[in-house]
Amino acid sequence: MESSELQQQIFQQIKSKLPQHLSMVDDVANILGVSTDSAYRRIRGEKALSLEEVYKLCVHFQFSFDQLFNFQSGTYMFQGEFVQDFDFNFLKHISNIEQQMKYMNSFTQKHMYYVCKDMPIFHHFHFREIAAFKYFFWMKLFIQSPEFAHKKFRFADYSDELFQTGRRILKNYNQLESTEIWNIEGINSTIRQIEFYRDLDMLADEEEVYQVYDALERLVNHLEVQADAGYKSFADDPDHKPMGSFQMYFNEVTLGDNCILSVLDGNKVVFINHSVINFMLTRDTHFCDRTYEHIQNLMRKSTLISSVSERERTRFFKHLKQRIAARKQSLKE
């Protein structure tokens, strides 16, 4: 590959990662520590990039030499951070999610595909009770925060700041066009989590447990409303003002790990969930294209239950409601 062709590909990669309203030349100039005029000369190919400059651009914009040279090495570049229990800050964690959602919404054309092994975190923020329980579950079981070592679940431990951050995440999520592939396990995992802590006597107030189940039931009802309408809305909006489009598929086979693929102005980025609460992302073209093909194949093997297939939609949501109703009934016995 000619060096001029390689340099052109580098700047094509950078352009694909930037929202249309941002200036590539300003970013390049800032990263390389050169003037905008000098940055323009590099972008136009009039001045060759040094190896050090190529390295700086690759690191900042997260793309690899393998991808540039089209090496078929079988390796892919991912970006992410592991949650560390000794310094984990849940507010910082969900604030990072908020920033990712804002980034997606900064593009003109944006669509999110979500393969849902578990219920997507965005839906938790419709109801404070569910968000509070999930916060307790993650902090106690997976983060193993010393603060939660001997704590029982109480709504009071979930701060207003956490919930308001969650609501902003939900607002950004609602603005995106989305396609989600669900199965029964999306709700079952939440039910199992609640029952796990009931069995351990770690839920301080049975009435609060009932309220969590009641909120979960209301969330399922709202998901059904969105699926029927084909668009997102806030659960507490009595008019259900239309926001981003919402396609929901039902797949009867157990899905793999939670996976998000976003298409942003024609460019793809994949987020993969691992170790329960961690996510890593890649923009590797080959990996993203293969993931997109996999999701399209899953959709073909699933039943579209939003806007159409009323019978299948009713059957799916009835099954979810029955599971929740059975747990609510057990609290009264």
The residue from 69, 95, 116 where one domain ends is 69
Residue 303 has pLDDT above 90, yes or no: yes
**How many Å apart are CA 309 and CA 194, to the nearest integer?**
31
Q: Is the full-model pTM beyond 0.75?
A: yes
Highest mean pLDDT among 9-23, 65-79, 131-145: 131-145
Cβ 298 vs Cβ 251: under 8 Å? yes
Q: Residue 317 corresponds to which tokens in the numbers above?
A: 């949501």
Q: Positive or negative, the Cα torsion across 280, 285, 287, 290?
A: positive
Q: How long, in residues, is the chain?
A: 333
What are the beta bridge partners of residue 203? 153
Of 90-94, 191-195, 306-310, 329-333, minimum mean pLDDT range: 329-333
Going by pLDDT thresholds of 50, 70 and 90, the confidence category of residue 1 is very low
Range of the domain at 25: 3-69
Question: Side-chain half-sphere of 41: how many Cα atoms within 13 Å?
Answer: 9
The residue from 50, 69, 88 where one domain ends is 69
> Within this chain, do residues 173 and 197 fall inside the same structural domain, yes or no?
yes
**How many Å apart are CA 253 and CA 265, to the nearest integer?**
32
Residue 316 has pLDDT above 90, yes or no: yes
> Within this chain, do residues 142 and 110 fall inside the same structural domain, yes or no?
yes
Whether 74 is in a domain gets the answer no
pLDDT of residue 326: 92
Long-range CB pairs of 78-83 (<8 Å, 24+ gap) are: 78/272, 78/280, 78/281, 78/282, 79/280, 79/281, 79/282, 80/278, 80/279, 80/280, 80/281, 81/278, 82/275, 82/278, 83/142, 83/143, 83/275, 83/277, 83/278
Of 19-23, 160-164, 171-175, 227-231, minimum mean pLDDT range: 19-23
pLDDT of residue 80: 67
> Within this chain, do residues 38 and 88 fall inside the same structural domain, yes or no?
no
Domain count, the chain: 2
* Residue range 174-217, pLDDT digits in tens: 999 999 999 888 888 899 999 998 888 888 888 899 999 999 99
pLDDT of residue 66: 61
More confident residue, 81 or 186: 186
> Within this chain, do residues 113 and 228 fall inside the same structural domain, yes or no?
yes
- Percentage of the chain modeled with pLDDT above 70: 90
> Within this chain, do residues 218 and 255 fall inside the same structural domain, yes or no?
yes
